[in-house]
Structure 1
Amino acid sequence: MARPPSIEDDKLTDLIVAVFRERGFVGTAIGDLSTASGLRRASLYHRFPAGKEQMAEVALDTVGRRFRRILEPMREDADVAAGIAETARRLGEFYGAGALSCVLDTMTLAGAPAEIRDRARSLATAWIDAMTDAARRAGHRPDAALRAAKDAFVRIEGALVLGRVTGDTGAFAEAVALLPTLLMPEAADERSGASLGAELHP
């Protein structure tokens, strides 16, 4: 009878994701993965014969599946505003209310293999595309929808970087809360009107 694994596959994958999320590809050593999982290096290589690169691919595949679930409401809910709000809530959970680093950021640092950077880039593109489509369905013109999606992406990713550097997660909470406002044209019009009113009546 085969010896049962000392750690379940799902748990092992979660631990691998967590390590790459914090250290990136270049900063992660097999020893880090061994320590996090409690498995010997030989056991890790038994499960992942191609080594660290294969583990990184598995980590990004896992993140990709989770992102599909996160983006699903924004893509599929007939009530666009409600779908965006639910996606925003799920983003907050995924990033630990801003306390967790973004694997799309850490895995694309210099030194990562091109295949890994390409996978991370495709996830970021899918996220922006989903926000663009939601903004367009909400009533934005295509060019405005893309600008709104990129603005939202920059705000959220920038807030995650700020949280990692300073420990201040407030900007992330604000960025996620603003996601419906950033993508819905009515809210954008209200912001523009408020800004114009402030300029006319200082």
Structure 2
Amino acid sequence: MVRIVFEKPDAIALVAEVFRELGYEGASMSEITARTKLSKGSLYHFFPGGKEQMAAEIMAHIDAWFVKEMFEPLEGGEPRAAIGRMWETTDSYFRSGRRVCLIGAFALDETRDRFSTTIRGYFQRWIEALAGALRKAGLPGAEAKALAEEAVVGIQGALTLARALGDETIFGRSLARLKQRLETATD
């Protein structure tokens, strides 16, 4: 049975989950239609540029969500509260380690070359936003940058390891350790 989708954001969410499961290269149009239950006509209506447009719009959607929910609070909010919110937002968005980071996954395969600017911008903004909050919380610039990189690396590594081992509790434990590390550094 074909699924009825009334809005493009509905299609973006459905196709994003297929990319999360299969990666960009593994997500053929036939797999996308089968897994989303959307017809090819519906998909091409929303994404006339095909799979590449789907991926670009999904990454733009993810980036916009992170800008609103994480990066802007880190850049403009009270630093300790914004960093605390980052941990909650990260845990919630990645469903406590059960959801892969699609932009991170795209960074690991040939997709990286197609979308290098978007991928690079996402990770750079996250690191810079967190480093800025850490500087506002009193850390020297180089230490703030190193700690921000460590946190983003730790989050991405925990997602990968939790998925590889089929144990999402790894993600929760890693977030708790990273959170403690940043709290200790800013006390």
Is the pair's TM-score, using the shorter chain for normalization, greater than 0.5? Answer: yes
8 Å CA contact 1:75–1:134 kept in 2: the answer is yes
Q: Secondary structure at the match of 1:107?
A: helix
Contact 2:138-2:186 at 8 Å conserved across structures = no
| Structure 1 residues not aligned, in runs of 5+ | 191-202
Q: Does the residue aligned with 1:66 lie in a helix, a strand or coil?
A: helix
Deviation, structure 1 residue 188: 2.7
Describe the SS at the equivalent of 2:115: helix
Q: Kindly tell me: are residues 155 and 26 of structure 1, through their superposed partners in 2, closer, same or farther at Cα, counting changes over 3 Å?
A: same
SS at match of 2:43: helix
Give the distance between the partners of 2:16 and 2:161, measured in 1 at CA.
21
The answer (yes or no) to whether the contact 2:18–2:36 under 8 Å persists in 1 is: no
Q: What's the CA shift for 1:46?
A: 2.6
Runs of 4 or more, structure 1, over 6 Å off, are none
Q: For residue 53 of structure 1, what is the aligned residue in structure 2? A: 52
> Matches of 1:49 and 1:9 in 2, distance apart?
12
CA distance in 1, matches of 2:130, 2:142: 13
Contact 1:145 1:183 in 2 (8 A): no
* 1:189 CA displacement: 7.8
Secondary structure (helix, strand or coil) at the match of 1:93 reads helix
Distance in 2, Cα, partners of 1:21 & 1:176: 21
The amino acid of 1:74's aligned partner reads: L
Q: Would you say how many aligned residue pairs link Structure 1 and Structure 2?
A: 183
TM-score (norm 2): 0.88
Residues 189, 57 of structure 1: alpha-carbon distance in 2 compared, 3 angstrom cutoff: closer
Higher mean C-alpha deviation, range 114-123 or range 51-60 = 114-123
Provide the residue aligned with 2:83 in structure 1: 84
SS of structure 1 residue aligned to 2:123: helix
Note the aligned Cα RMSD (angstroms): 2.0
Alignment pair present for 1:188 and 2:185: yes
- Counterpart of 1:149 in structure 2: which amino acid? A
Change in Cα spacing, 1:113 to 1:128, as seen in structure 2 (3 Å) is closer
Identify the range of structure 1 (102-111 vs 46-55) with the bigger mean alpha-carbon deviation.
Answer: 102-111
Give the Å deviation of 1:180.
4.0
Alignment partner, residue 166 of structure 1: 165
Among 4, 7, 16, the alignment partner of 1:6 is 4
Letter in 2 for 1:20: F
Gaps of 5+ in 2: none
Q: Which amino acid aligns with 2:48?
A: P
1:103 aligns to what?
102
Is 1:130–2:129 an aligned residue pair? yes
Q: Percent identity?
A: 30
Q: Distance in 2 between matches of 1:167 and 1:24?
A: 17
Comparing 119-128 and 107-116, the one that deviates more? 107-116
Listed one character per residue, the Cα deviations across residues 128-147 of structure 1 (whole Å, up to 9, x for unaligned) are 11111111111111110110
> How big is the shift at 1:113?
6.0
Question: Alpha carbons of 1:52 and 1:104: their partners in 2 closer, same or farther (altered >3 Å)?
Answer: same
Post-superposition shift, 1:157? 0.7
Please give the alpha-carbon distance, in whole angstroms, between the structure 1 residues aligned to 2:177 and 2:65.
22
Native 8 Å contact 2:127 2:148 kept in 1: yes
1:17, CA displacement in angstroms?
1.4
**Quick one: which amino acid aligns to residue 171 of structure 1?**
I
